[in-house]
Amino acid sequence: MKAVAHSELGDADVLRVTELDIPEPGPGEVRVRVAVSGVNPTDWKGRSGAYGAAAGELPLSVPNHDGAGVIDAVGPVAGGDGASGSAAESDGASDGVGPGAAGAIGAPFAVGDRVWVSLAAYQRPASGTAQEYTVLPVNRVFPLPDGASFELGAATGIPALTAHRSLTVAEDGPSRLAPGALDGHVVLVAGGAGAVGHAAVQLARWAGATVITTVSGETKASYAKAAGAQHVVNYRDSDAAEQIRAIAPEGVDLIVEVAAGRNNALDLAVLKNRGTIAIYANDGGTPFALDIGQNMGLNVRYQFVLGYTFGWDKVAAGAEDINAAIADGALPVGEDAGLPLIEFSLDRTGDAHRAVESGAVGKVLVKVADL
Ligand SMILES: NC(=O)c1ccc[n+]([C@@H]2O[C@H](COP(=O)([O-])OP(=O)(O)OC[C@H]3O[C@@H](n4cnc5c(N)ncnc54)[C@H](OP(=O)(O)O)[C@@H]3O)[C@@H](O)[C@H]2O)c1
């Protein structure tokens, strides 16, 4: 099969189009024929060595955690006679996850099922989605609701799971999302035209929140509005805090934060007492020191969010709610929905990485196959 892989860390030039054997699923695993691969900043950061140099030789690595496609084979039932069976009947032991990880979203998988996947290459370097087939533990695979395109499925993964987690960690807030779950809550999404920001705006609106978002200019403002934000503020305006306070005089309940250091002063100026700042990135890299008195006075809760480690139980719960939102038509992608799709061929996966690395506005995808 055709794949894109690398065996050293470095810039996008390390990515090579290559031929690999089609992998076989083991117990608790399924093989997915990939239609579309989704590219996130973490994919180029991992490829480049930004997370630290790997000790020793890098194993053959296939990039990209997110994707969508069709179940092509299911692994043997754990403890069975080796015959193929429903992947969700197995115990997922290969990933250290107990029974029901896939069953939690009620979907035993069968050959032909349409799915979206996420965190594909986490601790499994050869399992990224920039290849025609990938084998994954069932707890990284989720049914793609009827009518949802493979593009939507590949755009969902890390951005939507990160947004879901960020929206469900607030004090006095819900731990799950559904229509009405955020009724009466004011959510500030920093960077509403980003991939995670877009998903956060959409999920928060679906759950009933009043959504304010910040952007850096007019084009991004129009994308954030198209995503559903009722209020958009340019965070570069010197009176951004006053603008947000005018919209939410009592302050905002929850902030979904992409630039924790740069925005900390703004966040504290608009946060309600007992509010939560959910930090999933520190874009800009600005370090910050907490003003203990101000934070204590506001009873601030800081919640850090990292998709790799926030827990497979949270991933399963997030995927279930996200799928309900997709089924409701609440998570559309594309220019009209505020998230332009920028698609590359599998051969041009390196260019897809370069696009994300240089801050492409929208969602960068790699078309792997017409399925
Ligand atoms: N923790 C996790 O699990 C997790 C998961 C997904 C992503 N991430 C990280 O989150 C970051 C964003 O990912 P993404 O896929 O959403 O990237 P993206 O699509 O490039 O979006 C980033 C957005 O943040 C905006 N932004 C930058 N500085 C800002 C500021 N000070 N205030 C408000 N908005 C600001 C950018 O717009 P402007 O520059 O024009 O403002 C851009 O729209 C990356 O660093 C990524 O690695 C972390």
pLDDT of 214-266, one tens digit each? 999 999 999 999 999 999 999 999 999 999 999 999 999 999 999 999 999 99
Q: What does the CA dihedral 63, 41, 120, 319 come to, rounded to 10 degrees?
A: -160
Q: Please report, rounded to a whole number, the percentage of residues in the chain having pLDDT higher than 70.
A: 91
Shared domain for 20 and 152, answered yes or no, is yes
Read off the CATH number of the domain in which 39 is found. Answer: 3.90.180.10
Does 324 map to a domain?
no
- Find how far residue 255's CA is from the centre of its chain: 17
Nearest-CA residue for atom 10 of ligand 1: 281
Does 323 map to a domain?
no
Shared domain for 272 and 134, answered yes or no, is no
Does 360 map to a domain?
yes
**How many other CB atoms sit within 10 Å of the CB of residue 224?**
27
Mean pLDDT of the chain: 92
Does 318 map to a domain?
no
Count of domains for the chain = 2
**What's the pLDDT tens digit per position in 166-207?**
999 999 999 999 999 999 999 999 999 999 999 999 999 999
Cα(194) to centroid of ligand 1, in Å?
6
CA distance 320 to 139: 12
- CA-356 nearest atom, ligand 1: 20
**What's the pLDDT tens digit per position in 79-131?**
544 444 444 333 333 333 333 333 344 458 999 999 999 999 999 999 999 99
Shared domain for 62 and 200, answered yes or no, is no
Shared domain for 22 and 72, answered yes or no, is yes
Cα(191) to centroid of ligand 1, in Å?
6
Ligand 1 pocket residue status of 192, Cβ below 6 Å: no
Which residue out of 214, 258, 270 has the highest number of ligand 1 atoms within 8 Å of its CB and is therefore the one to mutate?
Answer: 258
Does 165 map to a domain?
no
Shared domain for 222 and 291, answered yes or no, is yes
Whole domain around residue 88: which residue ranges?
2-158+339-367
- CA-263 nearest atom, ligand 1: 31
Q: How far apart are the first and last CA of the chain?
A: 15
CA distance 91 to 316: 15
The H-assigned helical ranges of 62-215 are: 150-166, 195-206
Q: What are phi and psi of 58, to 5 degrees?
A: -75, 130
Read off the CATH number of the domain in which 268 is found. Answer: 3.40.50.720
Q: Which whole-number Å values give the CA distances from 149 to 115, 214, 341, in the listed order?
A: 10, 29, 12
Does 227 map to a domain?
yes
Q: What are phi and psi of 309, to 5 degrees?
A: -125, 5
Shared domain for 277 and 228, answered yes or no, is yes
Does 320 map to a domain?
no
Report yes or no: 27 and 46 within 8 Å, Cβ to Cβ: no
Shared domain for 116 and 198, answered yes or no, is no
Question: How is 112-127 classified by DSSP, letter by letter?
Answer: T-EEEE-STTTT-GGG
- CA-360 nearest atom, ligand 1: 20
pLDDT at residue 350, as a whole number: 98
Q: Please report, rounded to a whole number, the percentage of residues in the chain having pLDDT higher than 90.
A: 88
CA distance 369 to 133: 10
- CA-191 nearest atom, ligand 1: 34
Shared domain for 177 and 148, answered yes or no, is no
pLDDT at residue 52, as a whole number: 80
Shared domain for 208 and 258, answered yes or no, is yes
Q: What are phi and psi of 186, to 5 degrees?
A: -105, 120
Q: Where a domain ends, among 255, 285, 304?
A: 304
Beta-carbon contacts of residue 165 (< 8 Å; ≥ 6 apart): 278, 280, 305, 307, 310, 314, 318
pTM for the structure as a whole: 0.94
pLDDT at residue 81, as a whole number: 43
Nearest-CA residue for atom 22 of ligand 1: 194
Shared domain for 12 and 99, answered yes or no, is yes
Does 234 map to a domain?
yes
Shared domain for 6 and 136, answered yes or no, is yes
Q: Where a domain ends, among 288, 304, 320?
A: 304
CA distance 32 to 63: 15
Shared domain for 29 and 100, answered yes or no, is yes
